[in-house]
Amino acid sequence: MAIGYRGAMGDASLPCSTDRLELDALRRDLWPRQTLAMARGELPPAPAEVVWPRDAGEVRAALDRAQATGRAVVPYGAGSGVCGAASGREGALVIDLKRMNRVLELDAEARTVRVQPGLLGQHLEDWLARRGLMCGHSPSSIACSTVGGYAAARSAGQFSSRYGVFDDMLLAANLEAPSGTVRAGAWTPRGQEDLLPVLCGSEGALGVFSELLIRVVPLPERRWLRGYAFPNLVSAWTAMRGLLQAGLWPSVIRLYDPLDTRLNRSTRPPGPAATGRSLLSRMHALARRTPGLGAHLTDLPLAMPGLLNAVFGTLGSEVALILGFEGPEALVAAQVELAAPILEAARDLGPGPGERWFQHRHSVSYKLAPVFLGGGFADTMEVAATWSRLEGLHDAVRAAIGRHGLVMAHFSHAYPEGCSIYFSFAGKGELATYDALWQDALQAAAEAGGTVTHHHGVGPLKARAAAAEAGAAVRVWREIKGQVDPDGRMNPGRLFPDDQPEAPGPPPPDPDLGPVFAVDETSLLAEVDPAAPPSQVEAALRSRGLALRLRPDRALGPWLVAQRREALDSWECPVFAVQARFQDGASARIGPAPRSAAGPDLRRALLRRARAELVQVPVRRVDPDRPALLVQADPAAGDPRELRPAWRTPDQWAFEPDQRAIVEALGLSLTPASSRRAHGPRRSPTAPRERE
């Protein structure tokens, strides 16, 4: 049947179709495993019908239609996901959101924009740029991915170190679910639980986003980019950590391993150093000249991953780092000055590498088809860990992938507490090889203490690994899903498998060690008693030369439950790990790495439903002999949303002692600081806000 306007539960205007050509386009997203299977003639299941709603009312009509016909529902954005979350379902109703692509409202003073979910990321940035604004969310897929998709998968853009990941930017959302409309975030009705952290990352398994409220920021006055060469990975990521923990906030910080350094056109040195590319070129030339090998230009080298990885391991240890700052002119200049001593171990490569990267930052490969047609596959895996676990995570996952394919990596999405590693790999085009590689790599990531995904989401590719990472907290997900989707109609089987056994949780912490149970000095994280008064926690931390980065006005457990995303700046992360125990004795610990996208953020919902035993929170170093720099808040010198004070009140901002260049560059007036205030007052901006 051709596209028509067939009625849906009395709505005669809902565009829909059962045409085979339309449905074939919705069988899959861009999961490479399905590409590999399709190259061998295996097609994913086909849905039975597609609808194209234009507003929330038509989404509701589509859900009513699915209820009446007994169909499963698969929400569909732009289909650019790489984990299979939007894969087709036999006989399903697909709700394709491409017609819900409008900007609904801009509040320039509040710096928010309200949009529909089918709006492409690049179209939103173009619309905002004409008004002097941007979101700062810039994934490689920005031209072929939607705002709703960013929320569904907990996406991260290339500038997340400066502007946060997408759930840091998302302030509110409306979701149409089988049970009704869910209003979340800043739109949560008074007295109701805010489900925004659970909706973000739900991958269409709870409902369909109909509106989203997102932070925006001014376009930067200046953008500064540069390249640096470090002798090895360890020296480079030590510098990365130093930059982030020194109170700087680069917009770009990308480190390439030795192979990626030589193959990346932004950082590749001239001459013999490009050995890796030359070797592959020579092998391809040999295949072209040899009868019978021309059809196997890719699978010939990829059949020998161990040999190739060993050869590439001899190319040297030097690595390239791209660093960038952007924002107000004076602020950029001050940060560049403060960064210089931290980069002393590096060789300055000049602005060229950074500028080349920026020009090609969205040049995602649209040329992967020859890899598959040539008998291979190509894919990526992004994991993350705290700084103290980063080296172990890198070595373990690299070794696991290297047993099955050619592998290289870069480090990006860095934060004061840790960093993401983005592995790119290629292997021989066999489904068994692909599956074995992913199974080994996911297991290695979990055993190394990292998250199995930083920003690509879960889908069927990582469902079991993500469920194992969540542990008993999956109960929280299932409870909420049962409330908003009681029949399990939304994207069935996702996010977490129903048949996966519940892993035993961790034991309770030793109460004799409280109120601070443990400190990760490298990552600047502290495990603390969630019931202890803040004064006791602060006293215990001060004895170690530390202080809470965000000081609550009550015990951390109830403070975190009451916390709202809109009460924090995008870069403020009040909690990392949460450990809690259910009434039946089962325990769960969530949060092994910064900004995980292994399903929704269940931490606050877990604290509501189980007894908190431990929370891991960010801390900062303090020196009684070098008190914080207290300045009078001066909007004329810089909006606090453009800055990152160590702490602030409505009348004062406090900067770390080493941030004097920022204070002076902005012309801020210093005020006398007492030792008590240097450790930070209570932060009224982070108190819970009342709902209208």
Q: What is the DSSP string of 35-54?
A: HHHHHTT-PPP--SEEE---
Cα 308 from Cα 296, distance rounded (Å) = 17
Q: How many CA atoms lie within 13 A of 224 on its CB side?
A: 16
pLDDT at site 690: 32
Query: Would the pLDDT of 680 be above 50?
Result: no
Q: Are 1 and 50 in contact (CB under 8 A)?
A: no
For the residues of 225-281, what is the DSSP string, one character each? EEEEEESSHHHHHHHHHHHHHTT---SEEEEE-HHHHHH-TTTPPSGGGGHHHHHHH
pLDDT at site 685: 37
pLDDT at site 644: 83
Q: Are 337 and 659 in contact (CB under 8 A)?
A: no
Q: Are 560 and 352 in contact (CB under 8 A)?
A: no
Q: Are 54 and 5 in contact (CB under 8 A)?
A: no
Q: Report CA-CA distances (Å) from 440 to 390, 465, 579, 614.
A: 18, 11, 27, 31
Average pLDDT value over all residues in the chain: 87
Q: Are 464 and 452 in contact (CB under 8 A)?
A: no
Higher pLDDT, 384 or 275: 384
Query: Would the pLDDT of 269 be above 70?
Result: no
Preceding amide of 495 cis, omega within 30: yes
Average pLDDT over residues 372-381: 84
Q: Shortest CA distance to 644 belongs to which of 666, 625, 624?
A: 666
Q: Are 317 and 258 in contact (CB under 8 A)?
A: yes
Query: Would the pLDDT of 533 be above 50?
Result: yes
Query: Would the pLDDT of 236 be above 90?
Result: yes
Query: Would the pLDDT of 295 be above 70?
Result: no
Q: What is the pLDDT of residues 154-199, one digit of tens each?
A: 999 999 999 999 999 999 999 999 999 999 999 999 999 999 999 9
Query: Would the pLDDT of 2 be above 70?
Result: no
Q: What is the pLDDT of residues 316-331, one digit of tens each?
A: 789 999 999 999 898 9
pLDDT at site 297: 46
Average pLDDT over residues 430-440: 96
Q: Shortest CA distance to 215 belongs to which of 657, 642, 650?
A: 642
Higher pLDDT, 605 or 683: 605
Q: Shortest CA distance to 446 belongs to which of 464, 473, 472, 426?
A: 464
Record the tokens describing residue 511, joined without a space.
Answer: 């109460």
The SS3 of residue 685 is: helix
pLDDT at site 672: 62
Q: What is the pLDDT of residues 399-412, one digit of tens each?
A: 999 999 989 999 99
Average pLDDT over residues 580-607: 92
In one-letter notation, the amino acid at residue 202 is S
Query: Would the pLDDT of 256 be above 80?
Result: yes
The lowest-confidence range among 23-37, 194-208, 370-384, 616-630 is: 370-384
Q: What is the pLDDT of residues 107-166, one digit of tens each?
A: 999 999 999 999 999 999 999 999 999 999 999 999 999 999 999 999 999 999 999 999
Cα 534 from Cα 353, distance rounded (Å) = 46
The lowest-confidence range among 86-100, 162-176, 578-592, 639-653 is: 639-653
Cα 618 from Cα 674, distance rounded (Å) = 23
Higher pLDDT, 373 or 552: 552
Average pLDDT over residues 298-304: 54
Query: Would the pLDDT of 687 be above 90?
Result: no
Q: Give the 3-state secondary structure of 357-393.
A: HHHCCCCCCCCCHHHHHCCEEEEEEEEEEEHHHHHHH
Q: Shortest CA distance to 251 belongs to which of 331, 318, 320?
A: 331
Cα 566 from Cα 185, distance rounded (Å) = 8
Q: Shortest CA distance to 296 belongs to which of 367, 376, 377, 366?
A: 376
pLDDT at site 243: 96
pLDDT band at 641 (very low <50, low <70, confident <90, very high): low
DSSP state at residue 691: P
Q: What percent of the chain has pLDDT over 90?
A: 68
pLDDT band at 570 (very low <50, low <70, confident <90, very high): confident
Per-position b or e across 602-617, b if 16+ CB within 10 A of its CB: bbbbbbebbebbbbbb
Query: Would the pLDDT of 361 be above 60?
Result: yes
Higher pLDDT, 367 or 470: 470
Q: Are 617 and 586 in contact (CB under 8 A)?
A: no
Q: Report CA-CA distances (Å) from 158 to 140, 146, 316, 455.
A: 7, 16, 27, 11
pLDDT band at 472 (very low <50, low <70, confident <90, very high): very high
Residue 675: exposed, middle, or buried by beta-carbon count in 10 A (0-12, 13-18, 19+)? exposed
Q: Are 228 and 385 in contact (CB under 8 A)?
A: no
654: left (phi over 0), alpha (psi -120 to 50) or beta: beta
Cα 563 from Cα 459, distance rounded (Å) = 29
pLDDT at site 159: 94
Record the tokens describing residue 440, joined without a space.
Answer: 């080994």
pLDDT at site 64: 96
pLDDT at site 33: 95
pLDDT at site 658: 86
Cα 78 from Cα 364, distance rounded (Å) = 15
Domains annotated on the chain, with CATH? 16-96 (3.30.43.10), 103-218 (3.30.465.10), 222-360+368-450 (3.40.462.40), 511-621 (3.30.465.10), 629-686 (no CATH)
pLDDT band at 305 (very low <50, low <70, confident <90, very high): low
Taking the model in full, what pTM does it have?
Answer: 0.90
Cα 656 from Cα 679, distance rounded (Å) = 10
Cα 405 from Cα 382, distance rounded (Å) = 16
Q: Give the 3-state secondary structure of 654-676.
A: EECHHHHHHHHHCCCCEECCCHH
Average pLDDT over residues 443-468: 96
pLDDT at site 265: 63
